[in-house]
Structure 1
Amino acid sequence: MNCQILPLLVLSTVLACIPVYAQTETEASAADSASSEPPALTLEGLLEAVREGRSADARADESRLQRFRREGAKQQESLAQIRQQRAELETMSAQRETRYEENDAQIGDLEERLKQRMGSLNELFGVLQQVASDAQAQFHVSLSSLDNHDRNDFLVDFAGRMGQANRLPAINEIETLWYEIQREMTASSQIVTFQHPVITRDGQEIEVPVTRVGLFNAVADGTYLQFIPETQRLVEFSRQPPARHLAGPKALAEGDAGIVPFAIDPVRGQLLEILTQAPNLSERVGQGGAIGYAIITLGIGGVLLALTRLLILGRESRVIASQLKNMSNIRDDNAVGRIVWAARENEDTDVEILELRLGEAVLREVPRINRHLPLLKIVAAVAPLMGLLGTVTGMIVTFQAITLFGAGDPRLMAGGISQALMTTVLGLCVAIPMLLLHNIVQGRARAITEILQQRAVALVAERAEAKGRNPAQPIEANA
């Protein structure tokens, strides 16, 4: 019912609008002539448009329905083909799985038969593999690989095939392995010179004549070279060993044909690297720090002072010896002469007074003879104390490094320990010779003092003896 009312309402609305359109038809025609707008839609046109739209929609729906049916048929056909292919593949998979199991069982039987037939040859495979692997590892780090580049590939391939143990090695392969081992043994006794790139200290790579001394060292231009097995390169050491180890390389660089002294490294450069890293004398002294330099300065000053005193006392001894040989000519440029002059000045006095005067004269000479002896003794005593101070300071630095970084890396503690030990060594090195020099200087001074005392006692004894012979007559002091 509602469906019938709705079209009637639409139709009545359209009919009500017709008089309005009729009244304004003249005006609309005038306006249409003036403008380019399309004519107004009529009721018949609206119905015709609705009818054509419904027809077009129906045709489009029919076309889509037919296309869907055609595509559905094709999908069904494709599905059938896929199912057929799946069935064929499943059948093929089952067949190949069965064949794989059969082949696996057959391979197991064949391997068992091969193992039984080979017998003790398995041990041969193991020995050959081990020898080839060991030789390859040895040759890789050997200096002979610098001029023998064609053996590593063969050894690697041969060791791999012997590890599989699925075929016998050929006679020529075993002979090649033996030949390479024999060639390595021969190379250990050869001195060979060849062109090879060398990385210098400043990072440049230049090609120079390199001399290989057996399997121990490689030298060029009188210097040792370090062999890097990982890169197969020769690198010049950042610092060469001490000069006593460079006589051999320099002789080879100069072309000496005779027997030359040469320091070989049986561990292929590791000992040389340790020698290059070992600090020299100046570096060891520098490890002592400021306290170490203070000890050295104190020791140098003490040695110079001791040598000066030895020279002065030696000169004094020679002058005194000359004076003792010529007592007829008394000079005042020596201690004995001054003591004799003191005796002559007091020749009219009593023996007791003369003895006191001569003792006074000897005491005047002793400070000049023993000058700076206490200072030498102080230097000998202070040097080890300063070394102990450096030891304590170095241990404090070491404990601070342990507190901050732990004790896992000993290089962090090396600085403090080096200072601790080096200052102790420096202190002892200064104290021992200073103590020896002090005793020598003291002995020289004591010898001169004893000569003076002996001469003074002799003069007193002569005065007393002369006075005993002739109490009223004075005696000569130089008798």
Structure 2
Amino acid sequence: MRIFFTGLLLIATAFGASAQQTSETLTLDGLLEAVREGRVIEKKENTQRLKRFRQEESSRQEMLDNIITEQTRQETLSKQQETEFDVNEEEIAELEEKLGERMGSLKELFGVLQQVASDSQAQFHGSLTQLDYPERNTFLVDFAGRMGQANRLPALAEIEKVWFELQQEMVESGRIVTSTRNIIDRSGQEVEAQVTRVGLFNVVADGKYLQYIPETGRLVEFARQPDSRYLQGPKALAANDSGAFVFAIDPVRGQLLAILTQAPNLSERIGQGGVIGYIIIGLGIFGVLLAVSRFVILMLESQRIRKQLGELSSPRDDNALGRILLAYKSLTRLNVETLELKMGESVLKEVPRITRYLSLLKIIAAVAPLLGLLGTVTGMIVTFQAITLFGAGDPRLMAGGISQALITTVLGLSVAIPVLLLHNVVQSRARSITDILQHEAVAVVAHQAEQAQQQ
């Protein structure tokens, strides 16, 4: 079969060679000659290949011998290292046993020292005293790492240094230290200022609170300060006040202060109510001014009426009672029944002037909480829309929206309560004046009836 394929190969080769000779025609003799030439060429190539293989045989054998030698050497070395490893393992076990016997209860010391050093390092990392003693963290980290290995007893000086750092932190918690440091102001610029550290609680400068960033070791001014009542202490320190003053401290090292700076002030709270909130406030201001003005007018009217009560014989037209008495003088010729009707008409003319705008005050007191409820419902709709878009995973999103929604309710009640109280006060004053007018009108009619009976 091999001869057959070889023959085909030679035929193809001969055919290709003969194809190049366009002038020569392919015959059986030519094909046989081509096959013969191909076999001669193949034999020659095989002879050369065999010769080359025999020449390389010696070098291949040499490489094989080297590899076998190296393998034998490596196996011997591996056995030696395995034996040495077993010996070292036994020695390590014996040494560890001896170390354990010698250490005894000191192993607990390593654990305690490591824990104390780690806890102290974590505590000092966020402490304000890190501003004055930044190098102690490096020692504590290194000391805790060595105690974790438990292969060397700590030096007495190292243990004393850990104790010293703890003692120093306790001492610094009761000190007020002032120094010159670089701070980052609200505009983002780095400026130099007199910084006062109040124990482990607060850092202030120029009457303002500062925030300590442990990651960068920088002091940053808060974007906004808390309410003015919390700034009395920092301002007293900035003014070098030597007397006793109130100073608000943060026992959780700035966390409560950060929350206070985020709390909205009064104007921001009012702004959260939106347009409805401003409408309620405007309505409340109008209602209060109206109630106060009506109360003042009624007080003046009441004084004039009291003065008129002392001078019934000389009525004046600057008060309601005087105008009723003047009307009575012009109606003395009428009979009692007609006089009674005319006097009632005179009183009814004066009552609207006295009770003017009282119904408007009552309407304001009723509408204000309804507007607050409207604002609350509108805010809740916005809150639920935000929950639909962003989900309910963040409780602060819901709490903030509900807080803003309830602001209008608070504003509505804040307006309705004082307006309602003022309405009652003004109404009481108006009722007392009206009672006086009705009483005097009835008294005049009764006097007229008495005179008619005597006649």
* TM-score normalised over the length of structure 1: 0.81
Query: Corresponding residue for 1:87?
Result: 72
Deviation at 1:244, TM superposition (A): 0.9
1:221 and 2:219 equivalent?
no
> What pairs up with 1:269-308 in 2 under 5 angstroms?
269-308=254-293
Q: Deviations over 1:404-445 (max 9, x none)?
A: 222112333345312321111111111101110110110111
Supply the distance in 2 between the matched residues of 1:195 and 1:105 (Cα, whole angstroms).
Answer: 62
Query: Corresponding residue for 1:393?
Result: 378
Instruction: Identify the range of structure 1 (176-185 vs 224-233) with the bigger mean alpha-carbon deviation.
Output: 224-233
Query: Corresponding residue for 1:33?
Result: none
Aligned match for 2:404, one of 401, 412, 419: 419
Aligned match for 1:358, one of 343, 357, 360: 343
1:435 and 2:417 equivalent?
no
Deviation at 1:84, TM superposition (A): 2.8
Deviation at 1:391, TM superposition (A): 1.7
Aligned match for 1:207, one of 155, 168, 192: 192
Percent identity of equivalent pairs: 66
> What pairs up with 1:244-393 in 2 under 5 angstroms?
244-393=229-378
Query: Corresponding residue for 2:141?
Result: 156
Instruction: Identify the range of structure 1 (223-232 vs 199-208) with the bigger mean alpha-carbon deviation.
Output: 199-208
Q: Name the SS for the 1:235 alignment partner.
A: strand
Deviation at 1:77, TM superposition (A): 4.1
Conservation of the 8 A alpha-carbon contact between 1:217 and 1:264: yes
Supply the distance in 2 between the matched residues of 1:459 and 1:306 (Cα, whole angstroms).
Answer: 33
Deviation at 1:74, TM superposition (A): 5.1
Letter in 2 for 1:463: Q
Conservation of the 8 A alpha-carbon contact between 1:225 and 1:235: yes
Query: Corresponding residue for 2:182?
Result: 197
Letter in 2 for 1:213: V
Conservation of the 8 A alpha-carbon contact between 1:289 and 1:419: no
Aligned match for 1:131, one of 113, 116, 124: 116
Supply the distance in 1 between the matched residues of 2:276 and 2:90 (Cα, whole angstroms).
Answer: 83
Query: Corresponding residue for 1:181?
Result: 166
Letter in 2 for 1:151: R
Q: Name the SS for the 2:259 alignment partner.
A: helix
Q: Name the SS for the 1:179 alignment partner.
A: helix
Deviation at 1:308, TM superposition (A): 1.4
Query: Corresponding residue for 2:8?
Result: none
Deviation at 1:75, TM superposition (A): 5.3
Q: Deviations over 1:83-122 (max 9, x none)?
A: 4333223222221121112111211221122112211111
**Change over 3 Å in CA distance of 1:208–1:69 after alignment to 2:** farther
Supply the distance in 2 between the matched residues of 1:272 and 1:151 (Cα, whole angstroms).
Answer: 27
Q: Deviations over 1:224-259 (max 9, x none)?
A: 011112222211100001011111111111222333
Q: Deviations over 1:53-86 (max 9, x none)?
A: xxxxx9xx99x99998777655544543444333
Query: Corresponding residue for 1:145?
Result: 130
Deviation at 1:288, TM superposition (A): 1.2
What number of residue pairs does the alignment pair up? Answer: 410
Aligned match for 2:225, one of 240, 244, 248: 240
Query: Corresponding residue for 2:21?
Result: none
Q: Name the SS for the 1:464 alignment partner.
A: helix
Conservation of the 8 A alpha-carbon contact between 1:343 and 1:358: yes
**Structure 2 unpaired stretches of 5+:** 1-43
Supply the distance in 2 between the matched residues of 1:195 and 1:222 (Cα, whole angstroms).
Answer: 15
Supply the distance in 1 between the matched residues of 2:348 and 2:233 (Cα, whole angstroms).
Answer: 64
Conservation of the 8 A alpha-carbon contact between 1:288 and 1:418: no
Deviation at 1:465, TM superposition (A): 2.4
Pairwise CA RMSD of aligned residues? 2.1
Letter in 2 for 1:261: V
Instruction: Identify the range of structure 1 (138-147 vs 221-230) with the bigger mean alpha-carbon deviation.
Output: 221-230
1:464 and 2:449 equivalent?
yes
Supply the distance in 1 between the matched residues of 2:304 and 2:92 (Cα, whole angstroms).
Answer: 112
* TM-score normalised over the length of structure 2: 0.85
Letter in 1 for 2:119: D
Conservation of the 8 A alpha-carbon contact between 1:390 and 1:419: no
Query: Corresponding residue for 1:9?
Result: none
